[in-house]
Amino acid sequence: MRVDQQVIADMIAPCSRVLDVGSGDGSLIGHLFRTRACDAQGIELSMEAVTHSVAHGLPVIQGDADHDLIHYPNDSFDYVVLQRTLQAVERPREVLRQMLRIGEHAIVSFPNFGHWRLRLQLLYTGRMPMTSVWATPWHETPNIHPCTIKDFFALCEEDGYVVEHWTTVNERGRRAPWYYSPRLANLCGEQALFLLRRKT
Amino acid sequence: MVHQKISLQEGLDLQCGERVAPLDIAYQTYGTLSPARDNAILICHALTGDQYVADPHPFTGKPGWWARMVGSGLPIDTDRFFVICPNVLGGCMGSTGPLSHKPDSDELWGRDFPIITMHDIVAAQVKLMDHLGIGRLFAVIGASMGGMQVLTWASDYPDRVFAAMPIATSAFQSAQNIAFNEVSRQAIFADPDWHDGNYRQFDTIPARGLGVARMMAHITYLSEEALTRKFGRRVRNASQPSAIGNMPSVFFGDMFEVESYLRHQGSTFVKRFDANAYLSITRAMDYFDLAAEYDGDLTIPFKGSPTRFCVISFSSDWLFPTSQSRHLVRALNRSGANVSFVEIESDRGHDAFLLEEPDFDRTMRGFLNGAAEHAGLTQGGIAHAR
């Protein structure tokens, strides 16, 4: 399991109901079931990954964040997790709204487009930046809605979500030291990780 | 032919208001029931299947219809699970159906056999479970019409089903499938040997009608790719005899291999299946619509369900397409049930559930293992529990 998944797992209370949107090979939900006694389910786009997960006894359905969250009733989960996917969905704002409709908490991670390396590349080369995090050319990328940490704070403010906790991790998932300052994090953080809650 | 069966004198009250008594349920079992009686898997067969899931068929001698899935060390592992497969109510392999005698009479039910539904079929299976002393089934598994029984089990008896695996099925019989069934039925009615359903009295069977019904239905179990790969446009050597004696082997010259194959399917089918049973069961399928009893809301029968579901479809199945499985999955999501859903990539159509599909096998094995972990079943099964 990646280190950032461990960070996510640590945010989740034992015995919770969890929906992992974009559950990949199912490692997070498997971990949550085995070590935290969570009732964890997954949605995954890739049928190969779904088959792999179900073949390992994990409850996963084939589907995607844009089209399948609407089918879950209100408050059916304690946590809804969306890992490294927000920038690739059709309607990120609606997906967030759905996550916080069906879950009490949302845990969202996304690559930060405000990172200094991206800013520098755009400034100096005048071309769309390419880094290890943003590794596909603009015409091929599935990441159609990139945003910065600052943008994300603004959206949470606008839509009335409480940021209970946030941090940044680097590409390998290690937690970065600048996670107390949003400005510094927006410049130096590669991946952002947010724990949100609806305003009561 | 003597099938293993129970015979319940109290009979069964059907949804239509009629009663069949005694109620016979023929069944096969595999493996050993654990002392805690918690390792039982019920397998529900499809329209033309039967209880001989892993035994050679008593009439055709062919291996059981799911012999590659059920057995020692196989995905439905009989070293670990106690597997029960009953013949459906209305069937013709020993369970009460059109071939049974009317109450207190020497006369067969024949076409007078009452209208049955999936609820009736499942209610009969519940009586078998009661008789075997099995309260909660660890899993109920079935494909096609077997999947309809799985869904009926989960909606009618949620506390008796720990895990449910509806495969290549739907929560309602589609208009297209009703249409195909109607063509099958009309083929039977059009056979002069049908005798208005009383063919047994004339010591005959509507073999041509039932054969044509099977040929037509068989096409719907395959796919264009599968037919092309298997037969293409190849023609059969004209000197070979035709599969069915009373059909002209060559009408306009050479016979295509696909024609010969279908004739063979038709002719072998009529040896093991009763026409009235075919009519009775296809009707039960046609009436199947779980949501209809709840004002069209499919979430209600599964609301608060404790059952773990694993829905499986096959990409080239056009009889029970993936869209219908997805419709079911979404309803299960809305009802808050625990669901897994996999579409298996296959070009072999509806019949893929009977065939060698490694992803399907892995999914079956993995889902059952995962469910067993949740149910607290010991890993090694009963051998270790002792």
DSSP state of B246: T
Does a structural domain hold residue A120?
Answer: no
Question: Do B245 and B313 sit in the same domain of this protein?
Answer: no
Does a structural domain hold residue A137?
Answer: no
Residue A180 has a pLDDT of 73
* Spatial distance between the Cα atoms of B342 and A36, rounded to a whole number of angstroms: 26
Question: Do B162 and B20 sit in the same domain of this protein?
Answer: yes
DSSP string covering A42-78, please?
EEES-HHHHHHHHHTT--EEE--HHHHGGGSPTT-EE
Does a structural domain hold residue A125?
Answer: no
Residue with tokens 């943003």: A134
B297 touches chain A (CB under 8 A): no
B189: containing domain? 178-280
Beta strand pairing call for B12-13 and B19-20 = antiparallel
A interface residues, B as partner, C-beta within 8 Å: 39, 41, 47, 50-51, 53-63, 68, 71-73, 76
Residue B260 has a pLDDT of 93
Overall domain count for chain B: 2
DSSP state of B87: P
Q: Are B43 and B88 in contact (CB under 8 A)?
A: no
What's the distance, CA A121 to chain centroid?
25
Residue B383 has a pLDDT of 41
- Within 8 A by CB and 6+ apart from B352, the residues are B168, B314, B316, B317, B344, B346, B360
* Spatial distance between the Cα atoms of B61 and A121, rounded to a whole number of angstroms: 73
* Spatial distance between the Cα atoms of B184 and B211, rounded to a whole number of angstroms: 9
- State the CATH number of the domain containing residue B301: 3.40.50.1820
Whole-angstrom CA distances from A6 to A109, B335, B366 are 13, 30, 24
pLDDT < 70 regions, chain B = 237-252, 379-386
Residue B385 has a pLDDT of 35
Overall domain count for chain A: 1
The whole-angstrom distance between B337's CA and the closest CA on chain A is 10
Residues of B in contact with A58 (CB under 8 A): 340, 370
pLDDT tens, A99-125? 999 999 999 999 999 999 999 999 999
Amino acid identity, residue B242? S
Residue A108 has a pLDDT of 97
A25: containing domain? 3-113+146-198
Interface test with B, best of A18, A29, A54 (most B CBs within 10 A): A54
Q: Averaged over A33-38, what is the pLDDT?
A: 94
* Spatial distance between the Cα atoms of B24 and B95, rounded to a whole number of angstroms: 5
Among residues B251, B280, B309, which one ends one of the domains? B280
Helix axes A27-36 and A3-11, enclosed angle (nearest 10) = 50
Residue B128 has a pLDDT of 98
Does a structural domain hold residue A140?
Answer: no
Residue B386 has a pLDDT of 31
Residue B182 has a pLDDT of 97
Question: Do B269 and B293 sit in the same domain of this protein?
Answer: no
Q: Is the peptide bond before A73 cis (omega within 30 degrees of 0)?
A: no
DSSP string covering B167-224, please?
ES--SB--HHHHHHHHHHHHHHHTSGGGGGGTGGGGT---HHHHHHHHHHHHHHHS-H
Question: Do B264 and B199 sit in the same domain of this protein?
Answer: yes
Does a structural domain hold residue A123?
Answer: no
**Of A56, A57, A61, which has the smallest distance from its Cβ to B329's Cβ?**
A61
Does a structural domain hold residue A77?
Answer: yes
For B343, nearest residue in chain A (alpha carbons): A47
Residues of B in contact with A71 (CB under 8 A): 330, 333-334
Residue B144 has a pLDDT of 98
Interface test with A, best of B327, B329, B333, B363 (most A CBs within 10 A): B333
B368: phi then psi, degrees, rounded to nearest 5:
-65, -40
Bridge partners, A42 (sequence order): A20, A60
The answer to whether the Cβ–Cβ distance between A54 and B310 falls below 8 Å is yes
Question: Do B19 and B108 sit in the same domain of this protein?
Answer: yes
Question: Do B159 and B182 sit in the same domain of this protein?
Answer: no
**Of B311, B339, B365, which has the smallest distance from its Cβ to A55's Cβ?**
B365
DSSP state of A142: S
Question: Do B224 and B247 sit in the same domain of this protein?
Answer: yes
Q: How confident is the model at residue A143 (pLDDT cuts 50, 70, 90)?
A: very high
DSSP state of A150: H
B58 touches chain A (CB under 8 A): no
Does a structural domain hold residue A126?
Answer: no
Helix axes B275-286 and B145-156, enclosed angle (nearest 10) = 50
For A52, nearest residue in chain B (alpha carbons): B363
The answer to whether the Cβ–Cβ distance between A47 and B345 falls below 8 Å is yes
- State the CATH number of the domain containing residue A190: 3.40.50.150
Question: Do B217 and B305 sit in the same domain of this protein?
Answer: no
ipTM: 0.88
Among residues B254, B280, B306, which one ends one of the domains? B280
Whole-angstrom CA distances from A137 to A110, A143, B227 are 18, 10, 42
Of the CA atoms within 13 Å of residue B4, those in its CB half-sphere come to 12
Whole-angstrom CA distances from B193 to B185, B248, B264 are 14, 18, 20
Residue B193 has a pLDDT of 97
* Spatial distance between the Cα atoms of B234 and B117, rounded to a whole number of angstroms: 42
Residues of B in contact with A59 (CB under 8 A): 308, 338-340, 370
Residue with tokens 């070009």: B347
Question: Do B250 and B351 sit in the same domain of this protein?
Answer: no
Q: Is A197 exposed, middle or buried (0-12, 13-18, 19+ CB in 10 A)?
A: middle
Question: Do B133 and B201 sit in the same domain of this protein?
Answer: no
**Of A51, A58, A71, which has the smallest distance from its Cβ to B370's Cβ?**
A58
DSSP string covering B263-329, please?
HHHHHHHHHH--HHHHHHHHHHHHT-BGGGGGTT-TTGGGTT--PEEEEEEETT-SSS-HHHHHHHH
Beta strand pairing call for B82-86 and B40-44 = parallel
Residue A173 has a pLDDT of 60
- State the CATH number of the domain containing residue B200: 1.10.1740.110
Residues of B in contact with A54 (CB under 8 A): 310, 340, 342, 363, 366-367, 370
**Of B310, B334, B369, which has the smallest distance from its Cβ to A73's Cβ?**
B334
Question: Do B359 and B240 sit in the same domain of this protein?
Answer: no
Does a structural domain hold residue A157?
Answer: yes
Neighbours of B341 (CB within 10 A): 27
- Within 8 A by CB and 6+ apart from B144, the residues are B46, B47, B167, B168, B169, B319, B320, B350, B353
Neighbours of B377 (CB within 10 A): 22
Residue B247 has a pLDDT of 55
Residue B88 has a pLDDT of 98
Q: How confident is the model at residue A18 (pLDDT cuts 50, 70, 90)?
A: very high
Question: Do B135 and B186 sit in the same domain of this protein?
Answer: no
Among residues B262, B280, B298, which one ends one of the domains? B280
